[in-house]
Amino acid sequence: MERTLLKDLGKKIGEDVKIFGFIHAIRDQGGIKFLQLRDFSGIVQIVVLKSEKEVFDAVKDLSLESVLEIHGRVKEEKQAPGGFEVQAMEMKILSLAEPELPIPIVEEKGAEETELTKRLDWRWLDLRKVSKKHIFPVWTALEEGFRKYFLSNGFVQIYTPSLMNTASETGADVFEVKYFERKAYLAQSPQFYKQMAMSAGMERVFMVGPVFRAEPSFTTRHLTEFTGWDFEVSYINDHFDVMSMEEDMIISGFREVRERTGIELEIPSKPFPKIGLRDAKKILAEKGVKSEKPFDLSPEEERTLSEIFKEKEGSDFVFLTDYPVEVRPFYHMRYEDDPDTTKSFDLLYKGVEITTGAQREHRPEILKKQAIEKRMDLKTLEGYINFFRYGCPPHGGAGIGPGRIIMRMLDLPTVKEATFLPRDVKRLTP
């Protein structure tokens, strides 16, 4: 007999089935016993009658979260959740759980949530909770929607290394590792390699991979390792072309999430609101929000600006454009008529930055000049500068933090909840 998922039992009333799952609840009423069985697709009530003596006697040895195989008959029962239940005829204990759970799995209404650190210590148990089961199907659907956009628009997937011989980007906040007889560094992003692909003539690339940041941050939005989605495109006019592409990607991703998971989700419409950083600062000042960062936005400013555009234009998204050179890497292209400003952007979603992007500087002599201004060692950048010495198209792209998108989409309190096994300043397990 083939296995039946619990979500499909309603189609099999009157039929014999084989089901698997964790014990979600046990209720003993003397002459009749009830179990709730849970698999990834749902929960069903199991009724165990005294007439099935072997199964009935075995229930006394069960503990919550033990794993069972049950053969039984699906019966209509208006009192049961879903209007049906399974009458157990055979039961096999596949894995007996220890009786004392370190954290509760069943979420009682009004009960206080276990502290996050302890839940992360027992992450595999925490993820069994019904309220957590949708997180990674949403991840999967969102990535599928992005891939649909990429693959239907001529993008090629590339796979870039995480080990580098020099610190990427600015050289700060990187993890140093021993690499045989020398040092190596974990990549902050695949940025340099994306640009190499442009110089290789690949024109449109995307990738999914780990990103490492040695930032001693203790916020709800920071991790030391996270999954990044990146893309890079040749022959753009400016950074607004990159923003337009990302709008299409996000619309495709959100549509896929709604269609495949059924969660209520507003699909954004194009174009997303856009505002220059200088103008954003003026609006925030008029609202009485004090600026902590003269060349960037603080988390409070990001939240307030998002609220303004939600009220004003009904959008959960807003692009912040044209950041000053002080807060952007040396490889961001600058305006010819405003060399203190970069052709760059961030994308905010519900008050959280989820993307950083820009048009890149592809002219080696200007790259060198800008690197010197940033007090970077040209010798360590020689391999990177070589990418552009033999011709390279104008190009740009972005790095996206999908964990932050999921966090805001599902209204989770921290990006750690949206991450399978989060890594932060203090956590390297499980």
Residues 298 and 369 in one domain: yes
Looking at residue 292, its pLDDT comes to: 83
Residues 314 and 238 in one domain: yes
Looking at residue 290, its pLDDT comes to: 85
Looking at residue 30, its pLDDT comes to: 83
β-bridge mates for residue 88, sequence order: 72
Residue 41 in any domain: the answer is yes
Residues 47 and 143 in one domain: no
Residues 21 and 164 in one domain: no
Residues 163 and 213 in one domain: yes
Look at 404 and 171; give whichever has higher pLDDT: 404
If you average pLDDT over residues 98-110, what whole number do you get? 93
Q: How far is CA 22 from the centre of its chain?
A: 27
Looking at residue 170, its pLDDT comes to: 55
Looking at residue 169, its pLDDT comes to: 60
Look at 95 and 215; give whichever has higher pLDDT: 95
If you average pLDDT over residues 120-135, what whole number do you get? 97
Residue 109 has pLDDT above 90, yes or no: no
Question: Please, which pLDDT band fits residue 67 given cuts at 50, 70 and 90?
Answer: very high
Residue 345 has pLDDT above 90, yes or no: yes
| % of the chain with per-residue pLDDT over 90 | 93
What is the count of structural domains for the chain?
2
Residue 348: give its domain's CATH number: 3.30.930.10
Residues 293 and 399 in one domain: yes
| pTM assigned to the model | 0.94
Contact indicator for 247, 270 with CB cutoff of 8 Å: yes
Residue 162 has pLDDT above 70, yes or no: yes
pLDDT tens across 351-375, in order?
Answer: 999 999 999 999 999 999 999 999 9
Residues 158 and 71 in one domain: no
pLDDT tens across 392-420, in order?
Answer: 999 999 999 999 999 999 999 999 999 99
The residue from 95, 121, 146 where one domain ends is 95
Q: Which of 100, 99, 102 is nearest to 115 (CA)?
A: 102
Residue 55: give its domain's CATH number: 2.40.50.140
If you average pLDDT over residues 270-289, what whole number do you get? 96
3-state secondary structure of 211: strand
Residue 88: domain span: 6-95
Q: Which of 44, 45, 49, 54 is nearest to 33 (CA)?
A: 49
Residues 54 and 176 in one domain: no
Contact indicator for 289, 301 with CB cutoff of 8 Å: yes
Task: Establish how many alpha carbons lie within 13 A of residue 37's alpha carbon, considering only the half-sphere containing its beta carbon.
Answer: 30
Residue 95 has pLDDT above 80, yes or no: yes
Residues 215 and 79 in one domain: no
The whole-chain average pLDDT of the chain stands at: 95
Residue 127 in any domain: the answer is no
Residue 168 has pLDDT above 80, yes or no: no
Contact indicator for 70, 19 with CB cutoff of 8 Å: yes
If you average pLDDT over residues 15-26, what whole number do you get? 98
